[in-house]
Amino acid sequence: MRSDGRVERMVEEDRRGDELTASLPASEGWTEPLGESARAVYLFGAGHVGRALALALAPLPFAVRWIDSRREAFPAYAPANVALIHAPEPTNELANAPDGALIVVMTHSHAIDLEIVAEALRTDRFGYVGLIGSATKRARFLSQMRAAGLSGECLSKLVCPIGLAEVKGKDPAVIAASTAAQLLMTSERLSAEDAKPRLEREARSPAFTPWT
């Protein structure tokens, strides 16, 4: 299993050098993805929209860590692909997040939101850093993070408001559905980018000839 949750099977070159593997380049094997990918999503905040988003992500190929500093904010039950994480210091959870994880921030506190978003952007290793809020909130956060020394390149990666621009509804379920679609689109794009080097290697390898 890879660090981003995707499962692969490695088929190494056969030591006997038979016809099946004779065409493989030295020290290389095939990488065969197995099953559906489950990309890590770190969801910060267990408010109304957080609850709706956790439910919206339930049938999708994501492994969700749902994080809040308030233990009582979580529901009694959560979907099978969601782990409930009570973290007095939510920002610390980013240290163990895999590269390429999708970070979604919607806590009860603007100060906590800012701390999480700034750290996520500073590390520059996540596939998505999204913050719930308006264009005004985005401008205020960007100004504060710029003053704190974050580069323009880092700041340009902030997604705020979250969700698809075409969806205008403000109901928690609507925001959640729109954001889930955005996360799914982002995950598929990242998976295609990750797969590109493997596909290029396979294209350069001699064509496979079946036994006769």
Query: What CATH number corresponds to the domain at position 114?
Result: 3.40.50.720
> Do 97 and 118 touch, CB atoms closer than 8 A?
no
Examine residue 99 and state whether it is found in any structural domain, yes or no: yes
Helix (H, G, I), strand (E, B) or coil at 46: coil
Examine residue 106 and state whether it is found in any structural domain, yes or no: yes
Helix (H, G, I), strand (E, B) or coil at 52: helix
Q: How many domains does the chain have?
A: 1
How many Å from the N-terminal Cα to the C-terminal Cα in the chain? 35
Q: Residue 147 phi/psi, 5° resolution?
A: -65, -25
pLDDT, position 60: 97
Examine residue 58 and state whether it is found in any structural domain, yes or no: yes
Examine residue 112 and state whether it is found in any structural domain, yes or no: yes
Mean pLDDT, range 133-154, rounded to an integer: 97
Q: What is the pLDDT of residues 171-211, one digit of tens each?
A: 999 999 999 999 999 999 999 998 776 666 666 666 555 55
Examine residue 59 and state whether it is found in any structural domain, yes or no: yes
pLDDT, position 19: 41
Residue-range definition of the domain harbouring residue 93: 39-190
> Do 121 and 157 touch, CB atoms closer than 8 A?
yes
Examine residue 211 and state whether it is found in any structural domain, yes or no: no
Query: 40: which strand partners?
Result: 63
